């Protein structure tokens, strides 16, 4: 199966990735005042930076995180500093039932959601599993976002506008999703393989979400936020933390680079009808061949539906 993708490999796409990483960010003067932005993983890293960025433009926020106190503190701070509306929901993205509950609650909110930023993410160097037995990166980095977005489909269709953005990664290029073994029960596991597998699965379902929302005024895109200084992976032990602090962090960019890119993708008028695309920060890019395989994508969609405990409805298939 992998040989098929090797034959489709294009060095020019890889060179374009490196070139895009050196280009300056595209920006927009369009402000998001009065818009409502949903952000997962909102209390640290990119999520925190983008929450502050949008709050500073007087956008209203819906925040999702797993730490109640951090969410409460952040929400209070943003309301006090910027006089915006800020609501929050508590859900650990390693627990699908918590995500399901919050997704239904958000779907029932009276206000429209202008932008959905699926951002929450983790990285482990060794295999970890959730309480329900799912490989952790598959669950947090893909499956919970899939569940959230799928649950919001009827709301997004009914309101007739909106942008959905998946915070993905160039890391998808370095490993593929295997529909028959997303839990790595029959494959040798490394953290990079697990991460690439989850991000590849996310991209494959992103295209299907975009297809299902065609004609409803809602766009769906994925983006690599850049190599940024965040706390992702900081529970991987002393050696990894030392490596991150003394070597890796010196090569990384400030987290605001990612929030600036997300602002552009969320606000730029020229992207109002652009959907089903992958961006390296703000530059459109061709993903790896395995992340464009529609046959594999159909399998990953079906597997994601199964693991997320979802059933197709008329609202989600039109």
Kindly list the catalytic residues.
195
Residue with tokens 């089903």: 276
Which tokens is 59 given? 């956008």
Strand duo 278-280 + 218-224: pairing: parallel
Residues comprising the chain, all counted = 318
DSSP string, the chain: -HHHHHTT--HHHHHHHHHHHHSPPP------TT-EEEEESTTSHHHHHHHHHHHTTT-EEEEEES-HHHHHHHHHHHHHHH---EEEEE--TT-HHHHHHHHHHHHT-SS--SEEEE------SS--B-TTS-BHHIIIIIIHHHHHHHHHHHHHHHHT-EEEEEE--GGGGG----GGGTT-SSS---HHHHHHHHHHHHHHHHHHHHHHTTTTTEEEEEEE--SB---TTTTS-HHHHHHIIIIIHHHSBPTHHHHHHHHHHHH-GGGTT--S-EEETTEEE---GGGG-HHHHHHHHHHHHHHHT----HHHH-
User: For residue 34, what are the contacts with CB-CB under 8 A and spacing of at least 6?
Assistant: 58, 59, 60
User: Distance between CA 282 and CA 264 in Å, rounded?
Assistant: 7
Count Cβ atoms below 10 Å from residue 13 Cβ, excluding itself. 15
């Amino acid at each position: 199966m992998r040989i098929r993708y090797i034959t489709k490999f294009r060095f020019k796409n890889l060179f374009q990735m490196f070139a895009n990483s050196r280009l300056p960010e595209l920006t927009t003067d369009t402000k998001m005042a009065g818009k409502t932005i949903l952000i997962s993983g909102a209390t640290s890293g990119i999520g925190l930076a983008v929450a502050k960025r949008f709050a500073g433009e007087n956008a209203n926020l819906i925040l999702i995180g797993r730490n109640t106190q951090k969410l409460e503190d952040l929400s209070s701070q943003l309301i006090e500093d910027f006089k915006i509306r800020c609501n929050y929901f508590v859900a650990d993205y390693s627990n699908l039932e918590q995500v399901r509950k919050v997704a239904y609650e958000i779907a029932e909110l009276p206000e429209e959601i202008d932008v959905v930023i699926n951002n929450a993410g983790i990285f482990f160097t060794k295999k970890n599993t959730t309480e329900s037995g799912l490989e952790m990166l598959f669950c947090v980095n893909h499956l919970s976002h899939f569940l959230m977005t799928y649950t919001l489909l009827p709301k997004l269709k009914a309101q007739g506008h909106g942008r959905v953005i998946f915070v993905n990664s160039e890391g998808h290029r370095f490993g593929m999703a295997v529909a028959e073994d997303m839990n790595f029960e029959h494959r040798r596991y490394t953290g990079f393989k697990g991460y690439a597998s989850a991000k590849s699965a996310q991209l494959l379902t992103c295209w299907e979400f975009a297809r299902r929302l065609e004609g409803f005024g809602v766009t769906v895109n994925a983006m690599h936020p850049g190599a940024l200084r965040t706390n992702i992976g900081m529970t991987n032990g002393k050696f990894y933390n030392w490596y991150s602090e003394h070597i890796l962090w010196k090569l990384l960019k400030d987290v605001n680079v990612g929030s600036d890119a997300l602002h552009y993708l969320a606000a730029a008028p020229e992207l109002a009808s652009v959907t089903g695309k992958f961006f390296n920060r703000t530059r459109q890019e061709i993903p790896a061949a395995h992340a464009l395989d529609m046959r594999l994508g159909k399998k990953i969609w079906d597997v994601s539906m199964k693991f997320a405990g979802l059933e197709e409805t008329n609202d989600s298939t039109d």
